[in-house]
C-alpha cells in the first residue's frame, strides 16, 4: 500500500473560495459574512475526480492524507471569529471528500489560529475534527502572522496546552505555514521552507520532547534546509551543548520529528535518504500543490515524487516503511482505521 502523507484540497469547488472572499470583504466592511453556500456531493466528487484521484491512480498512490489548502488557511486574515468560521468550513469540506471516498482519503484539519490568540483556543476544533469527523492529524502553523513571525517558538510553554491535547488524542501535527503577508518572502519558495527550517532549529534548541516525549511532528517539504545542511545543525548542536540531532533518544529529535519526500528533483531525494534515517521519512508528494508542471529535464511532473523514491531501489522492507509503515506509525488513528478495514 502507498500512502501519501501530504495532500491539500487545492481543487475545492469555486463556491467555497467565493464564500471566503465574501467573508473577508464583510470583515473589512464591518459586516456579517453571508451564509455558507450549498455545495452538492456531485460538485465535491467533480472537484477531485480529474485532479487528485486521477493522479493518484496514474502514480499508484492508494490513499492521501488530506487537508485544506495550506496557502488559503490565511490565519493572518480577519480576527479569531473569522479564522474559526473559515477553519470549520474548510474542515467540513475535507470531511465530505473523505466521506465520499473513505478508501482514498484520510482527513487532517486546519486550525482556527489567529495572531496573538492563545493556541489553546484551537483545541476545540482539533477535538471536533478528530472525535466527530474522524480526522487523523492537524496542520499547525508556527507563524499565524503570515511571515512576520510574531508567535513564540514552538518550544515555548504557551503551546503546551495544544500539545497536551495532541497527545491525548494521539495525533501528530504537520508543521505548515500559510500564505505570506510579507513581500520579502515568496510563499512557497521561501516562507514555507523558512518555516520548516525554523521549526527544526527551535526543536534542536530546547527540551520539548523531554517534557512531552509522545509528541510527533512532520516537517514537510523534505525538512526545508535541514537535510541539506545537516553538518551545520550537528555543529550547532555541539556548540549549544545539545544532543546530536539524529539521536532518537529522549533528549534527541528523531524519535519525534519526521520529514516527507516533497522534494522535486532526484538529487534532493538522494541526499535526503543519505542523511536521514528512512525510519524518519514518510512518502509525500503535495501534488496539485506548490510545484506543478513538467520538468523539462526529465519530461515528468515535478511533483511525481514516487518516481524519485522508486529510483533509489530501496530494500523491500525500507520501501514498505517509507511508503506505508511510517505513516501508520506516525498517524496511529490512520493505522487503526486501515487495520479495522482489513487494509
pLDDT tens string 146-197 = 999 999 999 999 999 999 999 999 999 999 999 999 999 998 898 999 999 9
Q: Are 162 and 122 in contact (CB under 8 A)?
A: yes
Cα–Cα dist 164/181, whole Å: 30
Least confident stretch, 7-16, 124-133, 196-205, 243-252: 243-252
Q: Are 235 and 201 in contact (CB under 8 A)?
A: no
Strands 217-219 and 173-175, sheet pairing: parallel
- pLDDT for 223 beyond 60: yes
Residues 6+ apart with CB under 8 A from 253: 200, 203, 204, 209, 243, 245, 246, 247
Name the β-bridge partners of 109: 138
Provide the whole-model pTM: 0.95
Q: Which of 168, 244, 286, 339 is catalytic?
A: 286
Is 286 designated active site? yes
- What would the pLDDT profile of 59-103 be if each residue is shown by its tens digit? 999 999 999 999 999 999 999 999 999 999 999 999 999 999 999
Amino acid at each position: 500500500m502507498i500512502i501519501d502523507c501530504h495532500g491539500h484540497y487545492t481543487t475545492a469547488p469555486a463556491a467555497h473560495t467565493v464564500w471566503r472572499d465574501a467573508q473577508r470583504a464583510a470583515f473589512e466592511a464591518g459586516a456579517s459574512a453571508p451564509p455558507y453556500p450549498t455545495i452538492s456531493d456531485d460538485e465535491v466528487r467533480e472537484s477531485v475526480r480529474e485532479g487528485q484521484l486521477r493522479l493518484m491512480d496514474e502514480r499508484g498512490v492508494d490513499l492521501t492524507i488530506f487537508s485544506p489548502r495550506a496557502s488559503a488557511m490565511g490565519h493572518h486574515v480577519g480576527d479569531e471569529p473569522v479564522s474559526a468560521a473559515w477553519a470549520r468550513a474548510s474542515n467540513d469540506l475535507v470531511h465530505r471528500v473523505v466521506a465520499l471516498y473513505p478508501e482514498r482519503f484520510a482527513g487532517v484539519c486546519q486550525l482556527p489560529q489567529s495572531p496573538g490568540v492563545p493556541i489553546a483556543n484551537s483545541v476545540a476544533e482539533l477535538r471536533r475534527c478528530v472525535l466527530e469527523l474522524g480526522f487523523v492529524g492537524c496542520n499547525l502553523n508556527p507563524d499565524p502572522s503570515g511571515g512576520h513571525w510574531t508567535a513564540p517558538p514552538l518550544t515555548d510553554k504557551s503551546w503546551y496546552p495544544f500539545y497536551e491535547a495532541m497527545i491525548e488524542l494521539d495525533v501528530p501535527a504537520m508543521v505548515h505555514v500559510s500564505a505570506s503577508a510579507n513581500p520579502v518572502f515568496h510563499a512557497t519558495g521561501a516562507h514555507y521552507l523558512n518555516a520548516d527550517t525554523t521549526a527544526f532549529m527551535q526543536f534542536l534548541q530546547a527540551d520539548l520532547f523531554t517534557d512531552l516525549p509522545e509528541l510527533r511532528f512532520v516537517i514537510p517539504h523534505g525538512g526545508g534546509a535541514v537535510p541539506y545542511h545537516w553538518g551545520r545543525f550537528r555543529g550547532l548542536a555541539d556548540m549549544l551543548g545539545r544532543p546530536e540531532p539524529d539521536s532518537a533518544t529522549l533528549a534527541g529529535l528523531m524519535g519525534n520529528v519526521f520529514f516527507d519526500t516533497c522534494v522535486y528533483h532526484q538529487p534532493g531525494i538522494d541526499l535526503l535518504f543519505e542523511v536521514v534515517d528512512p525510519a524518519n521519512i514518510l512518502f509525500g508528494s503535495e501534488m496539485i500543490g506548490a510545484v506543478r508542471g513538467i520538468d523539462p529535464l526529465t519530461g515528468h511532473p515535478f511533483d511525481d515524487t514516487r518516481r524519485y523514491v522508486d529510483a533509489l531501489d530501496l530494500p523491500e522492507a525500507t520501501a514498505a516503511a517509507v511508503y506505508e509503515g511510517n505513516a501508520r506509525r506516525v498517524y496511529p488513528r490512520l493505522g487503526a482505521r486501515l487495520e479495522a478495514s482489513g487494509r
